């Protein structure tokens, strides 16, 4: 193939050469397509890593083998797996038990269901790729989140909204792609990290894509669903709320209109004829010029419930996005605050949504900035399913030209304590469903892949996709664990390679933050495409994203005392922390407060000196990234080595531009010189 296998490389290794016997036979106790995919993957993996062709047999005959099946299989009942059986409750969970030595060797890979078998196989192959000991395994694994989903913002013309890795792998020239092998390999990559749901078209549904739910395209949609199904992934579609008008010939899309309700019921029934296990709809309504229930004087619950009713008989769900705000704000009006919008719209509706509706909430109240506080909606709706949406694609974090590993950011979000039910009410417990007993919940990531040979533009951005999946499976995994797993599988286990790339990845988010918009204030990017510095680019626009820098100071006053009152949307512990200058964390200072340039941070620096320091330092750190990478020359294949190197060189250049624009801007505004006399253009 002309594209990379990412972390599913299955490079030959001789770690297991003394115990080959166990790998020569696979006892396969299942028949479903998904089980077939598991067997195929295991066979490919073993063949490629151990250089032997395992025999696949339907029953135990030999004395050494890998056994593959479900926990309720008769053959397995004779094994003493009571402890595992009791611990395993989740239908996607699995057990791996092994006893490997010179004589009889056995490895039992047993899923609760066939889907569990598939995940178990990927787990086992990961252990082999990482050259772990597999002699005495006793693993019981199950996901912490029910829904682990990828959203694509792909358009049928092949373009990808906020895509930085080429064109769509699903669509080209207004059609579905003909060659589907790449979709299958994508499904493998996603399943290997436990993703179980996907939407394939942009949340901004335009004319062409509106028809994806119509007779015309459903046979093609079904083909894609067929590919994903084999890897345990359910297909969803983003829909246009005005579909009844645009393709249904009705004069309204009012959710309370019986004709509209009928139309959706018919439409949904048709979808399920083609795709019996269709996941449901992703909906961006009344947001950024997209149609929605507001047009008809209805609220979001009324809007979502109508779709939910159509989907309910088939087990489908509605993923209703909470990215709703006034995008035609008057910048002169300093009392309106975009950060408050999602909470104001949705929190009062708690309890009004049907149980097959999930509110899909971005990690922060604004829009995927390098640094934002956690959205106050998390934990604030005990009676409404919630799912966390993060952006894997790096719209505001360097667009896959800059290195920005986002797992540390997501980890902070997941670990954030909402105090919804007192101490210990972390976001991960809200979206894991355990805090309020949600029926559906989990994590969604906006995909960063395209048809580039390396999938993600920046080779090291593959780590973001990998890390998203691993965290969605288990938010308790540590950043370090995820990072080293990815590196070893992607680049091998040479200690120097692992050490250098880990450091690069782990430092990269902070580095990017240091030379871009300071202290949580966000934006300062070029309007439209959002790449590169433009401090006032959005300052006098209608998007609601301002920094309010003047000659005296900078930042958005979101306090209750003197500002927009946003802090009051948090539970008291967090509200108090953000409200007070004394306790507001430095990195979010300008998100919550407007302060003079001479205000002292907890670090002891003034705000203006902090801006200068971080911007000078950020460029040095970017240079260090390149030096670190250069130490790996010869240890990484030439192609990937130079691809990454070229991006790191570009990053340094663009970091310099950020540094100079930001420093000059604030020098001119404040008239305060850099304490260390470094070069600031005047």
Chain centroid to CA 157: 24
- Least distance between ligand BDP and beta carbon 499 (Å): 35
Cite the beta strand spans of 490-529 per DSSP E. Answer: none
Asked if residue 368 binds ligand BDP (CB under 6 A), the reply is yes
Of residues 196 and 360, the one with the C-beta less far from ligand BDP: 360
Compute the distance between CA of residue 436 and CA of residue 148 in angstroms, rounded to an integer: 19
Compute the distance between CA of residue 494 and CA of residue 488 in angstroms, rounded to an integer: 8
DSSP 3-state of 180: coil
Asked if residue 295 binds ligand BDP (CB under 6 A), the reply is no
Q: What count of residues does the chain have?
A: 682
Contact yes or no for 523/397 (Cβ under 8 A): no
Select the residue interacting with ligand BDP from 41, 367, 372, 643 (CB under 6 A).
367
Element (H, E) at 239: strand 234-239
Select the residue interacting with ligand BDP from 114, 395, 451, 485 (CB under 6 A).
395
Compute the distance between CA of residue 164 and CA of residue 448 in angstroms, rounded to an integer: 7
**Residue 604: which residues within 8 A CB-CB, separation 6 or more?**
none
Of residues 353 and 368, the one with the C-beta less far from ligand BDP: 368
Asked if residue 161 binds ligand BDP (CB under 6 A), the reply is yes
Asked if residue 185 binds ligand BDP (CB under 6 A), the reply is no
367 a catalytic residue: yes
Asked if residue 39 binds ligand BDP (CB under 6 A), the reply is no
Chain centroid to CA 143: 16
Residue 375 DSSP class: P
- Least distance between ligand BDP and beta carbon 284 (Å): 5
Of residues 284 and 401, the one with the C-beta less far from ligand BDP: 284
Residues 191-230 as x/- pattern, contact with ligand BDP by CB under 6 A: ------------xx--------------------------
Of residues 260 and 387, the one with the C-beta less far from ligand BDP: 387
Of residues 81 and 198, the one with the C-beta less far from ligand BDP: 198
**Residue 481: which residues within 8 A CB-CB, separation 6 or more?**
none
Give the residue at shortest CB distance from ligand BDP: 367
CB atoms within 10 A of CB 86: 9
Select the residue interacting with ligand BDP from 170, 323, 405, 512 (CB under 6 A).
323
- Least distance between ligand BDP and beta carbon 367 (Å): 5
- Least distance between ligand BDP and beta carbon 441 (Å): 19
Compute the distance between CA of residue 309 and CA of residue 338 in angstroms, rounded to an integer: 31
Asked if residue 284 binds ligand BDP (CB under 6 A), the reply is yes
Contact yes or no for 517/544 (Cβ under 8 A): no
**Burial of 45: CB neighbours in 10 Å, binned 0-12, 13-18, 19+:** buried
Compute the distance between CA of residue 235 and CA of residue 227 in angstroms, rounded to an integer: 10
- Least distance between ligand BDP and beta carbon 613 (Å): 29
Phi and psi at residue 123, to the nearest 5°: -60, -45
Compute the distance between CA of residue 154 and CA of residue 406 in angstroms, rounded to an integer: 22
Asked if residue 162 binds ligand BDP (CB under 6 A), the reply is yes
288 a catalytic residue: yes
Window 324-363: residues binding ligand BDP (CB under 6 A): none
What is the total count of residues that contact ligand BDP (CB under 6 A)?
9
- Angle (CA) 142-153-317 rounded to 5° is 50
Q: Choosing from 84, 209, 367, 389, which is the catalytic residue?
A: 367
DSSP 3-state of 641: helix
Asked if residue 543 binds ligand BDP (CB under 6 A), the reply is no
Asked if residue 438 binds ligand BDP (CB under 6 A), the reply is no
Compute the distance between CA of residue 324 and CA of residue 28 in angstroms, rounded to an integer: 49
- Least distance between ligand BDP and beta carbon 558 (Å): 20
3-state helix, strand and coil shares in percent for the chain, rounded to the nearest 5: 40, 15, 45
Of residues 233 and 525, the one with the C-beta less far from ligand BDP: 525
Of residues 372 and 485, the one with the C-beta less far from ligand BDP: 372
- Least distance between ligand BDP and beta carbon 522 (Å): 12
Q: Choosing from 254, 395, 451, 507, which is the catalytic residue?
A: 395
Q: Choosing from 288, 481, 627, 657, which is the catalytic residue?
A: 288
User: Which stretches of the chain bind ligand BDP, using CB under 6 A?
Assistant: 161-162, 203-204, 284, 323, 367-368, 395
Catalytic residues: 288, 367, 395
């Amino acid at each position: 193939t002309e594209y990379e296998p990412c972390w599913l490389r299955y490079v030959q290794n001789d770690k297991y050469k003394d115990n080959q016997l166990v790998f020569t036979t696979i006892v396969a106790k299942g028949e479903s397509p998904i089980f077939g995919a598991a067997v195929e993957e295991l066979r490919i993996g073993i063949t490629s890593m151990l250089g032997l062709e395992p025999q696949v047999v339907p029953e135990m005959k030999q004395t050494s083998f890998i056994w593959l099946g479900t926990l309720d299989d008769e053959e397995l009942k004779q094994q003493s797996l009571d402890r595992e059986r009791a611990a395993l409750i989740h239908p996607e969970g699995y057990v791996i038990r092994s006893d490997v030595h010179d004589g009889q060797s056995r490895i039992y890979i047993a899923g609760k269901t066939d889907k569990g078998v598939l995940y178990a196989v990927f787990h086992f192959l990961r252990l082999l790729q990482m050259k772990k000991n597999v002699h005495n395994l006793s693993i019981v694994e199950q996901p912490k989140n029910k829904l682990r989903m990828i959203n694509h913002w792909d358009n049928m013309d092949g373009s990808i909204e906020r895509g930085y890795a080429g064109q769509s792998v699903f669509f080209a020239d207004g059609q579905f792609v003909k060659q589907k092998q790449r979709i299958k390999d994508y499904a493998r990559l996603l399943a290997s990290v436990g993703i179980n749901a996907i939407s394939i078209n942009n949340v901004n549904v335009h004319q062409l894509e509106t028809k994806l739910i119509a007779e015309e395209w459903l046979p093609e949609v079904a083909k894609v669903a067929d590919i994903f199904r084999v890897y345990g992934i359910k297909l969803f579609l983003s829909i246009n709320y005005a579909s009844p008008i645009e393709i249904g010939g009705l004069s309204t899309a009012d959710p309370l209109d019986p004709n509209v309700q009928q139309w959706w019921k018919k439409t949904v029934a048709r979808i399920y004829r083609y795709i019996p296990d269709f996941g449901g709809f992703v909906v961006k309504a009344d947001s950024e010029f997209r149609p929605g229930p507001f047009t008809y004087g209805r609220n979001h619950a009324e809007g979502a419930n109508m779709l939910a009713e159509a989907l309910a008989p088939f087990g489908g769900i509605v993923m209703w996005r909470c990215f709703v705000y006034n995008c035609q704000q008057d910048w002169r009006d300093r009392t309106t605050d975009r950060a408050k919008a999602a909470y104001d719209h949705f929190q009062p509706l708690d309890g009004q949504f049907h149980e097959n509706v999930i509110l899909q909430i971005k990690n922060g109240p604004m829009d995927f900035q390098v640094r934002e506080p956690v959205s106050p909606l998390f934990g604030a709706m005990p009676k409404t399913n919630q799912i966390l949406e993060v952006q894997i694609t790096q719209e505001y974090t360097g667009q896959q030209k800059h290195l920005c590993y986002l797992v540390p950011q997501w980890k902070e979000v997941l670990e954030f304590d909402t105090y919804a039910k007192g101490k210990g009410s972390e976001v991960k417990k809200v979206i894991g469903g355990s805090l309020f007993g949600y029926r559906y919940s989990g994590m969604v990531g906006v995909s960063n892949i395209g048809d580039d040979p390396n999938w993600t533009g920046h080779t090291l951005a593959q780590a973001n996709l990998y890390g998203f999946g691993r965290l969605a499976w288990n938010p308790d995994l540590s950043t370090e664990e995820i990072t080293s797993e990815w590196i070893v599988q992607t680049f091998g286990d040479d200690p120097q390679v692992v050490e250098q790339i880990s450091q690069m990845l782990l430092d990269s988010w902070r580095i990017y933050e240091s030379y871009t918009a300071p202290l949580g204030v966000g934006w300062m990017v070029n309007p439209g495409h959002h790449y590169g510095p433009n401090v006032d680019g959005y300052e006098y626009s209608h998007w609601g994203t301002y920094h309010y820098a003047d000659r005296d100071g900078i930042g958005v006053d979101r306090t209750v005392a003197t500002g927009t009152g946003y802090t009051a949307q948090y539970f008291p512990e967090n509200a108090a922390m953000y409200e007070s200058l004394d306790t507001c964390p430095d990195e979010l200072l300008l998100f919550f407060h407007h302060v003079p340039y001479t205000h002292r941070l907890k670090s002891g620096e003034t705000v203006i000196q902090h801006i200068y320091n971080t911007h000078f330092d950020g460029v040095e750190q970017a240079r260090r990234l390149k030096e670190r990478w250069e130490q790996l020359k010869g240890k990484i294949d030439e192609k990937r080595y130079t691809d990454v190197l070229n991006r790191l060189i570009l990053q340094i250049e663009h970091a310099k531009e950020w540094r100079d624009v930001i420093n000059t801007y604030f020098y001119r505004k404040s008239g305060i010189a850099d304490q260390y006399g470094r070069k600031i253009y005047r």
